[in-house]
Amino acid sequence: MKIRLDRLLAESGFGTRSQVKRLIKKGHVTVNGEIVKTPGFTVDTDRDEVLVDGEPAVFEENYYIMLNKPAGYVTSTKDRALTVMELVSDIPRFEKLFPVGRLDKDAEGLLLLTTDGELAHRLTHPKWKVPKTYYVVVEGKLKEEELKPIREGMKFKDFEAMPAKVRIISSSSSSSEAEITIKEGKYHQVKRMFDRIGHPVRYLKRIRFGNLELGQLPPGEYRHLTDEELSLLRKSVSL
């Protein structure tokens, strides 16, 4: 595989993109015995020998997994309770995977798991404002005018939610369905937003994460991202 030198080093654990660029520019990196100071230099992972201060950079391809998380699983790599890792344990080196952001134990839907620390870091960093869309069922009859505070932004003790997109799918006297898109990912954020307008969430499922769509992936199942999904996702956070 042909890859930029800085990406190879970042993906083989020598630091973030900017840290490895510094290492390269300072002359710590050799390719086939020659010092290379250009971060964008192309190397072939099948042929070239890359060393950082004499230590080989071993490239292990990253994994990018979309899981449809069922309720009842904790989004964590380690917990006394059942974790999402159980659902991907047939993937080789699955212990190196970690979830990008989190879904509550009782929540369902699209959860991205990856071995790529740099991408995960950016996707969860508030700076990049990656949109996340949820399908929710809430208590009571939702009315358009009640959604105003969600659409205008909401202040909480610990953070301020930016204006969110929200639309009612259906509503009856006992419950309503809606779709909401938020750009942050604070603890219990969607539940807290609907609590605030007097309609507690009874069911929550993430259906989109950035450019990724859950689609027809059955609950409890996973799939690898396609090359196109991955390249759009990387571009969305300037990688």
- Rule CB under 6 A: which residues touch ligand URA? 103-104, 107, 188-191, 204
Q: Among residues 103 and 233, whose Cβ is nearest to ligand URA?
A: 103
Q: Among residues 166 and 190, whose Cβ is nearest to ligand URA?
A: 190
Least Å from the CB of residue 176 to ligand URA: 16
- C-alpha 222 chain-centroid distance: 14
Least Å from the CB of residue 120 to ligand URA: 17
H-assigned helices in the chain: 5-11, 17-25, 117-124, 148-152, 189-196, 227-236
Mapped onto helix, strand or coil, the DSSP state of residue 200 is coil
104 given a catalytic annotation: yes
Note whether 132 and 181 are within 8 A (CB): yes
Q: Among residues 107 and 138, whose Cβ is nearest to ligand URA?
A: 107
Least Å from the CB of residue 107 to ligand URA: 4
Please identify which of the residues 46, 104, 158, 195 carries the catalytic annotation.
104
- C-alpha 114 chain-centroid distance: 8
Least Å from the CB of residue 131 to ligand URA: 12
Q: Which amino acid is at 208?
A: R
Q: Among residues 5 and 164, whose Cβ is nearest to ligand URA?
A: 164
Q: Residue with structure tokens 């072939």?
A: 44
Q: Which of 64, 71, 107 is nearest to 88 (CA)?
A: 64
State how far the Cα of 210 lies from the Cα of 213, in Å rounded to an integer: 8
Active-site residue set: 104
